[in-house]
Amino acid sequence: MNYEPLPELTNIEQLGEFALIYRLTKDLVIYNSSTQKGVGDDAAVLQFGDEYLVVTKDLLVEGVHFDVTYTPLTHLGYKSVAVNLSDIYAMNGVPTQIIIGLAVSSKYSVEALEDIYEGINAACKKYKVDLVGGDTTAIPSGLTISITAIGRVEKHRITYRRGAKVGDLICVSGSLGGAYCGLLVLQREKVAFMGNSATQPDLTPYTFVVERQLKPEPRRDITLQLLERDIIPTSMIDVSDGLASEILHLCKNSNKGAVVYEEHLPIDSRMATVAHEFEIDPATCALSGGEDYELLFTVSQSDYEKVKDMENISIIGHIKQVGKGANLITSSGQKVKLTSMGWDGLKLKRT
Amino acid sequence: MNYEPLPELTNIEQLGEFALIYRLTKDLVIYNSSTQKGVGDDAAVLQFGDEYLVVTKDLLVEGVHFDVTYTPLTHLGYKSVAVNLSDIYAMNGVPTQIIIGLAVSSKYSVEALEDIYEGINAACKKYKVDLVGGDTTAIPSGLTISITAIGRVEKHRITYRRGAKVGDLICVSGSLGGAYCGLLVLQREKVAFMGNSATQPDLTPYTFVVERQLKPEPRRDITLQLLERDIIPTSMIDVSDGLASEILHLCKNSNKGAVVYEEHLPIDSRMATVAHEFEIDPATCALSGGEDYELLFTVSQSDYEKVKDMENISIIGHIKQVGKGANLITSSGQKVKLTSMGWDGLKLKRT
C-alpha cells in the first residue's frame, strides 16, 4: 500500500476547517468560463444564460451535527434542507431545487427515512423548492445527510462575502445565540434522561431556544424585503458558525475592518434567560453560538433610510479600514478584538 | 421521543434501493417550472436560459463502495469524480463543475486528504471540470465522499432513459464485466494478504481488471463521437449496476421490451481469463457485474450507418414491444429472461 505511516502526518482537527480547505484547494485550476466564483463563499456561482446559478452543499453527520436521541427525524430532515437554503439566500438568491444524498445504517428503518423525508418535503413546500434527485446508500454506522441546493439570482443582485466598503452599515436579521442555548438545554436533558429514564424532560420553558436549535428557518423573508426595497447588500453571509466568525469572514474577504456594538446585538430575552441559567453571558452566546442561520450583511450608508425600518433587522456596527481590525465595543465602552470561537465542523463536539 | 419501536418496521435492505426511492418520492410535488426532470434518471434536468442544466449526486461510502485496504486514495478521489461525470455523459451532457462533500474520521490525516484531492484534481484536469465548492466535516468513523456534478446540454440533445422506440438498436461502449472481476481479484488478495502479510500480492497479471475497478474512465469520447456524427440516442443510461439491470431501466422508462444477444456482448479476453479463474461465466460478469461506467444507449435504425463504425461501440440487440419482455438470446440459441442481479448500494456487500 502507498499509505504507510509517515514520520509526521498532520492531524485534521489541529489544522482546522478553514486552513484545511485552503491547503486542499490552493492550487485549483478553473477550466470553464461559466465558473464565476468557486470555493470560498456561501455557494458557488455559475453563469447560465442571463442569470447566475448558485449551488451549495452541506453535510449533516450523526454524532457531529446532530444527536438522534433528542432530534426528531422530521426536524432533522427539515433542518438539513433549511441550512442549505440559508446558503442560497446568503448569495441573495432564490433556491429552486435540492438533491439529497442519504447514507443510512441498518439501525434505521424505512419508516425512519419516511420521517426524514416528511421533514424534507415540509421544507420544500414552505420554501417552494423541488427535490429533483439523489442517492441513497448504506453506511456501516450512523446517518449522513448530504444536500445540494441550487438557486438562481439576477446577475446584478448577486451578493458575495467580498464587497463591503468603509462606512457600510453592518446588519443582522433576527436574534442570535438561541440555537446554541437550545443545544445546551438538549444536552443537559439528555444527560439527566440517561441518569433516570423514567422521567421525560419538560422542555416547555425552553421552547424558544429548543426550536431555534431543532428547526431553524432560513431567512427568505429578508431577501424578499431586500428585493422589495431595492437594496443590494455590499456583502452577505449566513450566520452558521457564530456572528464573530462571520464578521471576520466578511472583513477578510472584503479586506476591511469592522466595529460592532454589544448594545446593538439582537438578544432575545428568552435566550438571555437560558444563558443566565447556564451562567454564560448572553452576548457571548450571540457572538459565538453557531447555527442561528440568520443573515449578516452590509449596506451602503446611503441605504440607511431603506434599511432602518426593515422588519427583523438590527444595525449592529459598521465597516472600517482594514488597519483598524475587527472589534467589539462592549456596553461599558471597552474595545475588544473580535475572535472566532464558533462552531467548527471538524471537531466532534457533540459526541 | 417520537421514535419508539413500532410493531412492524420495514428493513431498508429488504425493501431494496429502487422500491425505497419510489416509496420516499412518490408524493413529490414540483413547484418550479425550471424543473424539467426530477427523480428517476441519471441526473436531474433543469432549464436555465437556452440550455438544460444536468445535476447528479453520488455518495461513496467506506465499507460499502470502497475498501481502503486495497484502494489507493488518489484512485478513490479520481473514481469518485469519474462516477459522477459518467451520469452527466449519460444525459448526453458536458460536465462543467463539481462540488465535493467530505466526511472524514480522525484516522485520516491531512496528507491522506491531499491524496484524495490529488485524484480529484487529476480527474478535473482530464475532463476539464471545475471544482467549485464543498463541505468538509468530521464523521465518527470511516470516510464518506459526496460529489455533485453539474453539466450542460443543448436542449435538443438531452437524452433520457425514456424514449427508446421499437426497432431501435441497443448499443454499449467499451467492454463489460471487468470492474467486477477486478473486485474479485482485490478481495481475494486482501484475504491472502491478511493471512500472510509478509508477501505483497503480485497483481501484474490482473492489471486490466484491477484498473477497471479502481480507475474507471467515464465515456466522454462516446458523447463526443455522438455529437460529431450527429447522432442523438433515443435513450441512454450509464452502466453502473450491471448491463441487465440498466437494460431493464431503459425498458421500464421507455415502456418497451428488448432482446440482447450473448454473442454480441463486448467481452474482453483479459476479463474472460479472470472470470474463468473464478469459475464464473464471462457473460454473467458482463450482464451482472457493476461499476463498468460504460454508456448503454439506443439509436434509431436509420442511424445504423452512422453508428456501425463508431469506435468502441457494440450493437448488442434491439428494442421490442413491451409485451415481448426483455430477453437474452444465448450463444446456443436459448431465450432467457433478463433479470437484474446487479450491484445494490443498500447492501453492505463489501464489508
Question: What's the rounded Cα separation, in Å, for the pair A218 and A215?
Answer: 10
The pLDDT of residue A53 is 94
pTM value is 0.92
Q: Per-domain residue ranges for chain A? A: 32-157, 169-337
Q: How far is A348 from chain B (nearest CA, A)?
A: 7
Rounded average pLDDT over A260-275 = 97
Q: Which chain B residue has its CA at the smallest distance from A60's CA? A: B137
Alpha helices by DSSP H, listed for chain A, are 12-15, 17-25, 73-89, 110-127, 178-195, 207-214, 220-228, 243-254, 269-277, 282-288, 304-308
> pLDDT tens, B47-97?
988 899 999 999 999 999 999 999 999 999 999 999 999 999 999 999 999
Which residues of chain A lie closer than 8 angstroms to B61, CB-CB? 103, 137-140
Nearest to B129 among A24, A31, A61 (CB): A31
DSSP string, B313-324: EEEEEEEE-GGG
Cα within 13 Å of Cα(A18), Cβ side = 13
Q: Which chain B residue has its CA at the smallest distance from A72's CA? A: B2
Which residues of chain A lie closer than 8 angstroms to B31, CB-CB? 124-125, 128-130
Residue A8 banded pLDDT, cuts 50, 70, 90: confident
Q: Do B57 and A133 touch (CB under 8 A)?
A: yes
| Residue B346, pLDDT above cutoff 80 | no
Q: Do A48 and B117 touch (CB under 8 A)?
A: no
CA nearest neighbour of A34 among B85, B120, B97: B97
Residue A136 contacts by C-beta under 8 Å, 6 or more apart in sequence? A101, A102, A104, A113, B17, B20, B21, B24, B345, B346
Q: Do B136 and A1 touch (CB under 8 A)?
A: no
Average pLDDT of every residue of chain A: 91
On whether the B32-157 domain is CATH 3.30.1330.10, my answer is yes
> pLDDT tens, B6-37?
557 888 888 887 788 888 888 888 999 899 88
Q: How far is B291 from chain A (nearest CA, A)?
A: 15
Which residues of chain B lie closer than 8 angstroms to A142, CB-CB? 139-141
Q: Do A144 and B39 touch (CB under 8 A)?
A: no
Question: What's the rounded Cα separation, in Å, for the pair A328 and A326?
Answer: 7
Nearest to A49 among B51, B61, B132 (CB): B51
Q: Which chain B residue has its CA at the smallest distance from A347's CA? A: B138
Pair A153, A51: CB distance under 8 Å = yes
Interface test with A, best of B59, B121, B132, B346 (most A CBs within 10 A): B132
ipTM: 0.89
Q: Which chain A residue has its CA at the smallest distance from B133's CA? A: A39
For cell 453506511, what's the residue?
A: A139
Note whether A32-157 and A169-337 share their fold.
no
Interface test with A, best of B18, B59, B87, B115 (most A CBs within 10 A): B59
Q: Do B111 and A9 touch (CB under 8 A)?
A: yes
> pLDDT tens, B288-300?
999 999 999 999 9
Q: Do B35 and A128 touch (CB under 8 A)?
A: no
Q: Do A99 and B63 touch (CB under 8 A)?
A: no
Nearest to B136 among A20, A28, A113 (CB): A20
Q: Do A97 and B2 touch (CB under 8 A)?
A: no
Q: Percent of chain B beyond pLDDT 90?
A: 77
Q: Which CATH number fits domain B169-337: 3.30.70.100, 3.40.109.10, 3.30.300.30, 3.90.650.10?
A: 3.90.650.10
Question: What's the rounded Cα separation, in Å, for the pair B242 and B177?
Answer: 8
> pLDDT tens, A113-164?
999 999 999 999 999 999 999 889 999 999 999 999 999 999 999 999 999 9
Task: Tell me the C-alpha to C-alpha distance, in Å, between residue A302 and each of A39, A167, A172.
Answer: 31, 10, 17
The pLDDT of residue A3 is 53
Which residues of chain A lie closer than 8 angstroms to B130, CB-CB? 28-32, 35, 38
Q: Do A137 and B345 touch (CB under 8 A)?
A: yes
Rounded average pLDDT over A195-218 = 87
Nearest to B29 among A24, A37, A125 (CB): A125
Nearest to A39 among B28, B133, B144 (CB): B133
Q: Do B69 and A1 touch (CB under 8 A)?
A: yes
Question: What's the rounded Cα separation, in Å, for the pair B240 and B58?
Answer: 11
